[in-house]
């Protein structure tokens, strides 16, 4: 990953996690402290929580940070400085929610809701969902431009790259997903057409930031409202999905799964991250339940998580199935998770429990 590759102190990545702690979209002092603690605790690369791009339709949750107001840009500069002090790199995750508007988002009825097709998001019940407006070609080009501006703002701010959020059923994934994309134009129908919006976003970001500034692309099979959904069913389809993204300028793929060790496709033990690495020949970030017994979909269940060792992860690394490993929930509860895991002090880890989401820092 050139700069990211050479400069990373290890393969540990903090996964992007929305915390809804930035009133007015501004990452304040507490946010700098939150990320700095994880950097100090040994994380090599931080991917920030989702950051709204500059379009009135992009946000869907309360107190999400942005990357365009002067106050937010100043806030990010402080976050970057606090993280770099520990030799850790940091990239923002650029986010547009599409038709997902949380009932807790105060502006949900005040701001426009746009999506590939006018279909309520499958993750929201009928009374909570908002029927989105189908994006016109002008909406599409305006939103692509907003991604590119955000990418340039990230570069000018001093970030070490960007991640484009193409996962979990948000806008870009709504174009990929046949349940939310019923378009009849060049952005709908075949897999090639459904990937087109994402490739145009990547290409516009690449043009904005030039070569050498890293672009990470996150995608997933699972979606909010569809934990067992499949975007691609075979390695051949995966190749058809990845190739245009590679051609558009993706440097690194972040393969979001619920359990990192699960086989990507039946008939082979290779993980989805392993398949992506094999097919794309690009560096790959693996993620999903590293260090924990429960997975993301069990977040709101009563199931108690226990801390797990990383022997399986280390085996997959030696097999060449991934380059970097992202950790989400475990790092919320214990900023020293990396340090303790690397020095085999698993019993000293403060294990993630869902109520930990209520606290910050």
If one asks whether residue 49 binds ligand FMN (CB under 6 A), the answer comes out as yes
The span from the CA of 133 to the CA of 229, in Å, is 24
Q: 39: helix, coil or strand?
A: helix
Kindly identify the residues of this chain, within the stretch 60-79, that bind ligand FMN according to CB under 6 A: none
C-alpha pair distances (Å), 269 with each of 165, 195, 246, 325, 335: 27, 27, 25, 18, 32
Report, in Å, the least distance between residue 354 CB and ligand FMN.
9
Q: Residue 287 pairs with which residues in a beta bridge?
A: 256, 326
| Binding residues for ligand FMN restricted to 199-218, rule: CB under 6 A | 218
Q: Which residues are catalytic?
A: 170
User: Which residues, at least 6 apart from 311, have a Cβ–Cβ distance to it below 8 Å?
Assistant: none
Q: Is 223 in the site for ligand FMN (CB under 6 A)?
A: no
Does 284 bind ligand FMN (CB under 6 A)? Our answer is: no
Spatial distance between the Cα atoms of 213 and 190, rounded to a whole number of angstroms = 31
Q: Least distance to ligand FMN from the beta carbon of 81, Å?
A: 22
Residues 6+ apart with CB under 8 A from 29: 78
Which of 50, 116, 166, 225: binder of ligand FMN (CB under 6 A)?
Answer: 50
Quote the least distance from Cβ 322 to ligand FMN, whole Å: 14
273 binds ligand FMN (CB under 6 A): no
Closest distance between ligand FMN and the C-beta of residue 178, in Å?
21
57: left (phi over 0), alpha (psi -120 to 50) or beta: alpha
Nearer to ligand FMN, 215 or 330 (CB): 330
- Can you tell me which of 16, 44, 92, 98 binds ligand FMN, judged by CB under 6 A? 16
Q: What is the largest distance, in Å, between two alpha-carbon atoms of the chain?
A: 55
Task: Output the residue with the shortest Cβ distance to ligand FMN.
Answer: 328
Contact region with ligand FMN (CB under 6 A), list: 21-29, 119-127, 264-272, 284-292: 284-292
Tell me if 333 contacts ligand FMN by CB under 6 A: no
The answer to whether residue 329 forms part of the interface with ligand FMN (CB under 6 A) is: yes
> Quick check: 276 and 285 in contact, CB under 8 A?
no
The answer to whether residue 35 forms part of the interface with ligand FMN (CB under 6 A) is: no
From its phi and psi, is residue 225 left (phi > 0), alpha (psi between -120 and 50) or beta? left
- Contact between residue 192 and residue 133 where contact means Cβ atoms under 8 Å apart: no
The smaller minimum CB distance to ligand FMN, of residues 172 and 246, is found at 172
Q: Cβ neighbours of residue 360 under 8 Å, at least 6 residues apart?
A: 19, 21, 30, 34
Q: Pick one of 60, 288, 316, 337: the residue that binds ligand FMN (CB under 6 A).
A: 288
Residues that bind ligand FMN (CB under 6 A): 15-18, 49-50, 93, 165, 167-168, 218, 256, 287-290, 292, 296, 327-330, 357
């Amino acid at each position: 990953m050139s700069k990211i590759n050479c400069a990373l102190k290890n393969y540990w990545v903090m996964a992007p996690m929305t915390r809804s702690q930035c009133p007015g979209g501004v990452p304040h002092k507490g946010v700098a402290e939150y990320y700095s603690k994880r950097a100090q605790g040994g994380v090599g690369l931080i991917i920030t929580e989702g950051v709204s791009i500059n379009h009135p339709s992009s946000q869907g949750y309360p107190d999400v940070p942005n990357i365009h107001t002067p106050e937010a840009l100043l806030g990010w500069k402080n976050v970057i400085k606090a993280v770099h002090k520990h030799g850790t790199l940091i990239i923002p995750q650029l986010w547009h929610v599409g038709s997902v508007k949380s009932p807790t988002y105060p502006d949900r009825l005040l701001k426009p809701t746009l999506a590939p097709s006018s279909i309520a998001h499958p993750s929201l019940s009928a009374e909570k969902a908002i029927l989105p407006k189908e994006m016109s070609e002008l909406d599409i080009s305006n939103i692509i431009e907003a991604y590119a501006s955000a990418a340039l703002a990230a570069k000018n701010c001093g970030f070490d790259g960007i991640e484009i959020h193409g996962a979990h059923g948000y806008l870009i994934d709504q174009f990929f997903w046949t349940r939310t994309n019923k378009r009849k134009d060049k952005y709908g129908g075949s897999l090639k057409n459904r990937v087109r919006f994402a490739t145009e976003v990547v290409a516009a970001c690449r043009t904005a930031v030039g070569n050498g500034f890293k672009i990470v692309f996150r995608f997933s099979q699972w979606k909010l409202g569809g934990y067992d959904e499949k975007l691609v069913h075979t390695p051949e389809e995966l190749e058809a999905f990845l190739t245009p993204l590679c051609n558009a300028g993706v440097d690194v793929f972040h393969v979001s799964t619920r359990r990192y060790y699960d086989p990507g496709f039946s008939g082979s033990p290779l993980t989805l991250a392993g398949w992506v690495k094999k097919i794309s020949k690009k560096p790959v970030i693996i993620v999903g339940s590293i260090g924990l017994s429960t997975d993301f979909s069990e977040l709101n269940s009563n199931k108690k998580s226990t801390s797990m060792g990383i022997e399986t992860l280390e085996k997959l690394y030696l097999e060449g199935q991934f380059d970097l490993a992202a950790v989400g929930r475990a790092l919320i509860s214990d900023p020293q998770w990396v340090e303790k895991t690397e020095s085999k002090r698993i019993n000293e880890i403060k294990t993630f429990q869902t109520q930990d989401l209520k606290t910050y820092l």
